Amino acid sequence: MAKFQVELKRVVDDSYEIEIGYGLIPVLINDIANGLAGKAHKFAVVTDTNVEPLYARPVLEALREKGYQADLFVFEAGEKSKTRETKAMIEDAMLAAGYQRDCCIIAVGGGVVTDLAGFVAGTYGRGVPFINYATTVLAAADASVGGKTAVDTPLATNLIGLFNQPEKVYLDLDTWKTLPQREICSGMAETIKHACMADEAFFSYLEEHLEEILRVEKMPCEHVAERNCQIKYHVVMQDERESGLREILNLGHTVGRAIETVSDYRLLHGEAVSIGLVAEAHLSRHLGFLSDEEVERMTALLRRAGLPVRIPDDIDREALVKKLYTDKKVRDGKLRFVVQSRIGGIQCFGNNIYATEVSEETARHILKEL
Ligand code: GLY
């Protein structure tokens, strides 16, 4: 009978600042007072049980002292909490506390917190602003920057989510001093990933300064935080929605995410990514891109960083092969992998194509070798 064209072209500016420093809570409060969260006057501080007493409560108290309405929404720490159920629990608690569209969410924590809170923010009241206050090396290196928000499902990690950019990201390096060593090592896996895919000089820097970084010494940690950010945001600025280039940030994650799920999250994200980086380096060598020496150099650095470099014996290799098919890079039922051309470089396979098809047989061979 009739046809109408609904014109809805949008020009969106989702730019935001990343601030790296020490003890940034006063800076956060000052930024809010200066309009960072727009008209929001009620703040939902989302955090986990580990971070609550250390940093989330101080954020809450600082907000209240400044006269803002604010509440804490706390869930059990750990990747196992990154679920639709936890998201619903936070949403229900916010609804019960009267939060409406004029609120802002502040994620205070590591990658699980920033991924989950950012996803809540993307759908709460059809979208409210959020701010990331990252308190782990892993969140600083990867999760808090780039706007990927998601929850895990029983099938695999990060399958349900949104691209949703924060208003600002704070990387508070003081928080690294209160992290357990295992968490620092886990964050180093994403750091080593960045070096492997983009910057050989950074890789050499990590080889030279690794022990100082693991002891959380000031200068090398500042360099790590800054270089991680630069490498990540350069990729995200070119391909926010992962239509090509952003796939390179998946290096080590095709196998890593599969291991994380099959291990039932016994391994931390970075630990699983470390094994994934080694497995995918073996694949790059198998495909003729990396040399034995380069694979050994990568494996040695990951091992020195206190990270696992072999698949634990009790992980069923066939279950892993099956799990690879839950990866978001799979096209037409075919496995696709990001491949390193060298330490500090990713192989390009054509115009904006950064992953290549790999047969199940080859993937199985690599996983069985490791
Ligand atoms: N963590 C991978 C990405 O942000 O694309």
Please say whether the beta carbons of 150 and 160 come within 8 A: yes
Strand ranges (E), 86-242: 103-109, 130-134, 148-151, 160-163, 168-172
Ligand 1 midpoint to CA 151 (Å) = 14
Our answer on whether the CB atom of 138 is closer than 6 Å to any ligand 1 atom is no
Element (H, E) at 69: strand 69-75
Ligand 1 in reach of 146 Cβ (< 6 A) = yes
pLDDT, position 88: 98
- Helix 57-65 crosses helix 25-33 at what angle (to 10 degrees)? 40
Mutation to probe ligand 1, out of 142, 197, 239 (largest number of atoms < 8 A from CB): 142
Q: What distance in Å separates the CA atoms of residue 236 and residue 164, rounded to the nearest whole number?
A: 12
Helix axes 360-369, 269-286, angle to 10 degrees: 120
Residues 6+ apart with CB under 8 A from 338: 197, 247, 248, 250, 251, 254, 280, 329, 346, 354, 355
> What pTM was estimated for this model as a whole?
0.95
User: Comparing C-alpha atoms, which of 314, 284, 311 is closest to residue 296?
Assistant: 284
- d(Cα 274, Cα 253) in Å, to the nearest integer? 9
Helix axes 292-304, 200-214, angle to 10 degrees: 20
Rounded Cα–Cα distance for residues 205 and 198 (Å): 13
Tokens of 233: 């945001």
| Confidence at residue 269, expressed as pLDDT on a 0 to 100 scale | 95
Question: Using CB atoms within 10 A of its CB, is residue 187 exposed (0-12), middle (13-18) or buried (19+)?
Answer: buried
pLDDT value of residue 36: 97
What pLDDT shows up at residue 144? 87
User: In this structure, what are the phi and psi dihedrals at residue 150, rounded to the nearest 5 degrees?
Assistant: -175, 170
Q: Which two tokens stand for residue 370?
A: 């490791």
Ligand 1 atom with the shortest distance to the CA of 146: 4
Check if 115 has its Cβ closer than 6 Å to any atom of ligand 1. Answer: no
Report the C-alpha gap between 120 and 73 in whole angstroms: 12
| Predicted local distance difference test score (pLDDT) of residue 41 | 87
Average pLDDT along the chain, 370 residues, taken 10 residues at a time: 93 95 98 96 97 98 97 97 98 98 97 98 98 97 93 94 97 97 97 98 98 97 97 96 96 97 95 98 97 98 98 95 96 96 97 96 95
Q: What per-residue confidence (pLDDT) applies to 313?
A: 94
In the reported structure, the alpha carbon of residue 248 is separated from the centroid of ligand 1 by a whole-number distance in angstroms of 9
Determine which residue's CA is closest to atom 5 belonging to ligand 1: 249
